[in-house]
Structure 1
C-alpha cells in the first residue's frame, strides 16, 4: 500500500505501537478506518505470538557500554546548561570509535559514529580536535591504554550532518535512514566498522515541536529514534536540556524519559555568575540495570592550536574521576551510616584495607567481593571504641555488646553482609551502601 506523509502521521498518532518501515509498506498494518466505516474481521492481521518455550535460555543483554548503554535502542543524555552535555556525548563517541572505556565502564561494541547536529554544528571540528589531542592521540590515552588504539587520529570514523528533518514528521526516519545507510557503507569499506552510535544534538532543535510539553509529540519523537535504531542497528542518543528544576529532569513532556531505554544526566551546581562545580554524570534511568550511580568529572580545558590572530584556540575534554566519590554521594553515604555506626564503619574500612581478601562468598559462579574476617573488624572496633566502665572487665563487656549491636544494626540496614568462608565469618560492605 502507498502512504502519504499525512496518512502516516495520522496512523502514528493513533497507534502507540510503531511498526517498522518495511511493515508500513504492506497491508499488515492498514490505516485505522474512518469513523462509521465497516471493517472486515480479516482486514487486520494481529501481531505474532511469542512463546517462552521458544526463547533462548542463555539469552543475555547486548551492550554498547557494559551495564550502561544497550547495543540498540534509544536514550537521552540530558543536563543543565553549562554541565558539558555535548562534551560528554562526544567522549562516548571517542570510546565507541576506539574501544576504550567510557566513564570507567567497559566498551563492548566498537564502531563508527553518525552525529546529527542541528544545534552548534560549527563547533564539531574544534571539539573533535580536542578529542584527538586529549583522548585519542594524547598523553591521557597513552597512560591508560599504552598507545594509539588502532584508529588514525587524522581520519576518525566519524561523520556528521548539520541539519535534521523534523522528528515529529513521519518522513524524518526515512530521510535519516538513507543518511545512515551512506555512513554505514563508508564505515564498512574504509574503516571495516559497523555504524554503532547515532547522536542527535539536540532533541529540542531536531524535533520541530509545535508544543514541547505535548506527550503525543514527545512520544512521536522517541518512536522516531527507536525506528531509526531498528533500521540501522545502532544505538541512538538524543542530547537534551533539563528544565528549570533538576528534580523534574528532561525539559518538556515526561513522555521522553518514560520512553527512553537509558537516561544519563549531566549534573552540576551553578552560581549566579554561571560558574559550575560538583559536575557528575548520574544514571537516571536504565532498563534492566541499576540506577542512581554517579561518576564525577571535570571539564578539562585544552589548547588545540592558534587562530589567525595568534591567540590560542581552546576547547574541553571530559576527565572522568572514576576513583573519586561525588559530593552528593558522600552526603548520601553519611545519611545511610548513622552516627551510632561510625566507629564500626571506620573499623570495617580499616580492616578491609589492611586484611581484606578477594573472595567469592556465593561460590565460583558468584561475584568476586572484597571481604575481611570478622575477627579483624572486631579487634579494630575494640581498640577504638571508647567506654567508661569501672573495671577492664566491664569495659571489655561493654565493647563486646556494642560490637554485637553494631553488626546487627549494620546488617539490618543493608550496609554490610556476612558469610562463612573457609570456616571463618567474613564481612563486606554492600555496594549500594
Structure 2
C-alpha cells in the first residue's frame, strides 16, 4: 500500500493495536546493549540471523558449493575447514533442477559417510515465491510446518533469486525490496535464522549479480563462485558487512557412484570436495598489467596522503570507481575495465570488499615500498575508521586528471 493511500481510520486502527501491545516498535538507548561477538552458523564464514547471497554464472558450480554448505550446516560437519557453530534444520527451496539436487546430495552423503535419512535438510516441492501473496503465504506455512515438526530452521536457501521474483522485474529496486522484506520478516519470526539467495551474474559485468543492486545492498555477506583455468570451483567473499573477510575457499568435483538400476544403468553424481586454495599465477596481459600498476600507484599515493596528514596508522583504501577513472586516464579502454577487473580478481591479484579494491599481499608490499609506509593487506585488515581519498589526489602519478572528477 502506498503511504499516501492510508486513511485516518487505518492510522487509528494501527495505533490502537500498538496501545494494546499487538504490534509496535520502540527505541532503546544504545549504550544499554552489551557488545557481543558475531554469532556464526559457519565459523568466520556465515553469520546467524543474516542475509547472505551466492552469485555465479551457470556452470560455475554454485549449486554444488551451496549444497555442500547446506549439508554441512545440517549435519555439523566442517565446511571447507571451517567448523559449524550452529547446526540444525536446513530448508532448501529450489525453483529448478530438484532431481539433480537429490543426486548431488546423495553423492555428498555417501562421500562423507552420512546416512541421508538422518540429515535434517528439507527440499521444497517448488521454488520460493517472494512476490505473489499466495506464494508468500505458502512459503510461510511450509516453514512453520518444518519448525513445528523438526525445530526452528537455522537457514533458508532460495534458489534462484530470478525464480523467487517470478512475475516481477528483476531490475526494479521496488520489486527487489519487496522480496527482501519477505525474507526479513521470516528471519524476525524465526529468530536466528539466516536466509541465503542464489543469484546469476550479469551479462556484461561478471563481478556482480544481475538486475537491481538493491539485493546486494541488503546482504550482510556475498560470495562469488567461479572456476579457474583448472576447473577448480572458487568461493570468494565479495561483501562482508561486519567482521574480517573470509579467505577464499576451493572445491573440486568428485564423482560418486550411487546405484545400479534394474535395467543395468548406473546412477552417479558428484560432490564439491574441499581442496586447498591456491591462487593461480598466470602472465598478466597488457590491460591487466596497466590496471594493476594503476591500483598500486593509487594505494601508494593514498598512503602518502594519509601519512602526510598525520594518519600513519590509517588503512589505505581505493574505491573501485576511482580505480576505473584512473585506468581510463592511463589509457585503458573503459569498455574493458569490468573484464580486466574480473580477470585480476579471478587470478587472486585483487580482492573486492564492498566498494573497495584490495591488492594481494605481494602487491601491497610493493605499493608500500613506493610510499615508504605500511598498507594493510587483505586478511589482516582492522576495523579502524576508513578514509577514502578521491582519485584526483593520486593523479600526479599519471600526469593528467580525469574528466569531471568525482
TM-score higher than 0.5 here?
Answer: yes
Structure-2 change in CA distance of 1:326 and 1:412 (3 Å):
same
SS at match of 1:298: strand
**Are 1:80 and 1:242, in contact at CA under 8 Å, matched by a contact in 2?**
yes
Structure-2 change in CA distance of 1:269 and 1:182 (3 Å):
same
User: 1:33 Cα shift?
Assistant: 2.0
- Please list the CA deviations of residues 244-283 of structure 1 after superposition, one character each: whole Å capped at 9, or x if unmatched: 234451121111111112111111258xxxxx72531111
Query: 1:163 and 2:126 equivalent?
Result: yes
Tell me how far apart the structure 1 counterparts of residues 158 and 47 of structure 2 sit (CA, whole Å).
17
Alignment of 1:21-420 (within 5 A): 32-33=5-6, 47-56=25-34, 58-134=35-111, 136-137=112-113, 152-164=115-127, 166-170=129-133, 172-188=135-151, 194-233=152-191, 234-269=193-228, 277-291=231-245, 293-321=247-275, 323-327=276-280, 412-414=373-375
Tell me how far apart the structure 1 counterparts of residues 136 and 40 of structure 2 sit (CA, whole Å).
23
Superposition CA RMSD, Å: 3.7
User: 1:215 Cα shift?
Assistant: 1.0
Structure-2 change in CA distance of 1:182 and 1:164 (3 Å):
same
**Are 2:180 and 2:215, in contact at CA under 8 Å, matched by a contact in 1?**
yes
Q: Which runs of 5+ in 2 are unaligned?
A: 19-23, 297-365, 382-406
TM-score by length of structure 1 reads 0.60
Tell me how far apart the structure 2 counterparts of residues 282 and 113 of structure 1 sit (CA, whole Å).
22
Tell me how far apart the structure 1 counterparts of residues 80 and 273 of structure 2 sit (CA, whole Å).
9
- Please list the CA deviations of residues 297-317 of structure 1 after superposition, one character each: whole Å capped at 9, or x if unmatched: 212222212234423322121
User: 1:227 Cα shift?
Assistant: 1.4
Q: Which runs of 5+ in 1 are unaligned?
A: 1-9, 16-30, 138-150, 189-193, 271-275, 339-404, 417-428
TM-score by length of structure 2 reads 0.64
User: 1:407 Cα shift?
Assistant: 10
- Please list the CA deviations of residues 193-248 of structure 1 after superposition, one character each: whole Å capped at 9, or x if unmatched: x4212111112112214221111111111221221222223211111111223445
Question: Which ranges of 4 or more aligned residues in structure 1 deviate by more than 3 Å?
Answer: 37-47, 151-154, 170-174, 245-248, 290-293, 328-332, 405-411, 429-432
Tell me how far apart the structure 1 counterparts of residues 209 and 88 of structure 2 sit (CA, whole Å).
28
Tell me how far apart the structure 2 counterparts of residues 299 and 170 of structure 1 sit (CA, whole Å).
39
**Are 1:78 and 1:85, in contact at CA under 8 Å, matched by a contact in 2?**
yes
Tell me how far apart the structure 2 counterparts of residues 406 and 414 of structure 1 sit (CA, whole Å).
8
Tell me how far apart the structure 2 counterparts of residues 310 and 411 of structure 1 sit (CA, whole Å).
69
- Number of residue pairs matched by the alignment: 299
**Are 1:168 and 1:217, in contact at CA under 8 Å, matched by a contact in 2?**
yes
Tell me how far apart the structure 2 counterparts of residues 124 and 277 of structure 1 sit (CA, whole Å).
20
SS at match of 2:118: coil
User: 1:296 Cα shift?
Assistant: 2.2
- Please list the CA deviations of residues 91-134 of structure 1 after superposition, one character each: whole Å capped at 9, or x if unmatched: 01111122122122221101111111221122232122111111
